[in-house]
Amino acid sequence: MNVTQQKCACADCVCIVDVKDAVKKGERNYCSQACADGHPQGSGCEHTGCVCHG
């Protein structure tokens, strides 16, 4: 069975991402560039209901 959706690899992030649409960094899949970069500016992923920002 193919895994097509995965939780964003950012620890605080609750978003589920489609693997094919994910921002990839190494082996991990992130919902946004901010998550992939570890929230360098402290900005969130801007998804509703998610409070991650590093």
Q: Does 36 bind Zn ion (CB under 5 A)?
A: no
Cα–Cα distance for residue pair 32/14, rounded to 1 Å: 12
Handedness of CA 51, 29, 31, 40 (dihedral sign): positive
From 22, 23, 35, 36, residue interacting with Zn ion (rule: CB under 5 A): 35
From 8, 22, 23, 36, residue interacting with Zn ion (rule: CB under 5 A): 8
Q: Does 22 bind Zn ion (CB under 5 A)?
A: no
The answer to whether residues 33 and 22 touch, using CB atoms and an 8 Å cutoff, is: no
Binding site for Zn ion (CB under 5 A): 8, 10, 13, 15, 31, 35, 45, 47, 50, 52
